[in-house]
A and B are shown apart, each in its own frame.
Chain A
Amino acid sequence: MSRERSQPRPIDQADALRRAAQISAAADADRLRILSSIAAEPAGGLGAHQIARRVDAEEHTVDLQLDALEAAGLIERVDGETVLLTADAWMRFGRLLAAAPGQAGLRRVGDAGLPPTVERIARQLQYRYASVFSPETVRKYVAESYALLAERARIRTYLPTLTTKYATDRLSALATASGLSPKGTPEVLFVCVHNAGRSQLASSIMQHIAGDRIHVRSAGTAPAPAVEPAIRRLLDEIGVPFAQEFPKPLTTEVVQASDVVVTMGCGDACPVYPGRRYLNWELDDPAALPIDGARRVRDEVYDRVERLTASIT
């Protein structure tokens, strides 16, 4: 037992498989040149036709390569047009891709001088990981993630989003490795319009039922300033603690990080990525109903969450 503890633990099998698949997807000269053409672009993103010109290839072949890179989580297409590198791509391949000397210089990030956006990310993650890590640990990871990405990415525009994504990945990996959260925990995302009613009910209930067995998140396509006051009461009536989430905007990272995405009254606005399970629950907005109606919605949410939880754990 004590011997085991002193030995470094190997990366777990599932994680190793995922990384191998991602590295395989990049292990091709044409794809590497495509990635490097995007990495080299100070404006932050390129269209497929521009990439095709830079790597001297046909646009339709570039499109096929981009599909493979997107499936591996190395690029993302925004507005169906501009191609961006993901945080994973910057972190794992950024230095390899930076063939050109004179790359944007190494940005030293002192502990005192984090930009305000990065401080905000640290606060958000301190909140999210409050039960697992000390605020200092979370801030250290965010600062480090930012420094690592700033070293690699030539552009600054997407740095905050990349930092959040990367710091979250590292923190959840650290939590898993430290036995603080179980391995391969499914990620479930509830989305409604305001992230103030239905998605808050669903996420609090699932958190309560599943505990550590599922990572639950919620978001809204047009987040309200605060959670509907009735929600806390509706939850309290059935003995479910309110998960203490504030209404958050729906971002591509959070969708990409999810295994199951449940939309409630906002189906069309939720971006669809391959490999995720999408569910659409037709539910009335409890905020627009008298209390009895709101209770019926809550009970309906409870039943659905219970069935969903049973199906994924």
Chain B
Amino acid sequence: MPVRGQTLDRSAAEEIARTLRAVADPTRIQMLGLILASPTGETTVGELADALGLRQPTITHHVHILVEDGVVVKEPIGRQVRLSIAPARRASVEDLLR
């Protein structure tokens, strides 16, 4: 007989809800999908803007929200900023986009 698991406590639930709010936007979902699908697991604001047909400032705004929550990590390489999914969040993001 399997044992009953536990109901999430309030603070854990608040934390997950925050992340879900950060992800719950069609453009951000498309951006995360593109990052996951890219062969290197990384991309740039410019590439996302091209792929989605949006202006760079729009993408930057969405990136900011995702970085704030810790879903996306920014890493400056030379003059570029590479964007990737935070390794600890990758499994959850993959699940949300399945």
Residues of A within 8 A of B (CB): 7-11, 13, 16-17, 19-21, 23-24, 26-30, 32-33, 36-37, 39-42, 54-55, 91-100, 102-104, 148, 154-155, 170
Could you write out 17 A-B pairs with CB less than 8 Å apart?
Answer: A8-B34, A16-B33, A17-B26, A23-B96, A24-B21, A27-B17, A29-B17, A30-B13, A32-B17, A36-B8, A37-B7, A42-B2, A96-B16, A99-B12, A100-B6, A102-B3, A103-B5
Q: How far is the CA of A9 from the CA of B36 in the complex (A)?
A: 11
In the complex, the answer to whether B97 meets A36 with C-beta atoms within 8 Å is no
- Chain B residues with CB under 8 Å of A33's CB are 7-8, 10, 13
Q: How far is the CA of A28 from the CA of B18 in the complex (A)?
A: 8
Residues of B within 8 A of A (CB): 1-10, 12-14, 16-17, 20-21, 23-30, 33-34, 37-38, 51-52, 91-92, 95-98
- Chain A residues with CB under 8 Å of B7's CB are 33, 36-37, 40, 54-55, 99
User: Would A19 and B2 be within 8 Å (CB), given that A8-B38, A29-B17 are in contact?
Assistant: no
Q: How far is the CA of A40 from the CA of B8 in the complex (A)?
A: 9
Q: How far is the CA of A21 from the CA of B25 in the complex (A)?
A: 8
In the complex, the answer to whether A16 meets B30 with C-beta atoms within 8 Å is yes
In the complex, the answer to whether B6 meets A40 with C-beta atoms within 8 Å is yes
Choose among B4, B8, B27 the residue that contacts A32 (Cβ–Cβ < 8 A): B8
Q: How far is the CA of A92 from the CA of B27 in the complex (A)?
A: 18
- Chain A residues with CB under 8 Å of B10's CB are 29, 33
User: Would A26 and B95 be within 8 Å (CB), given that A37-B7, A102-B3, A155-B2 are in contact?
Assistant: no
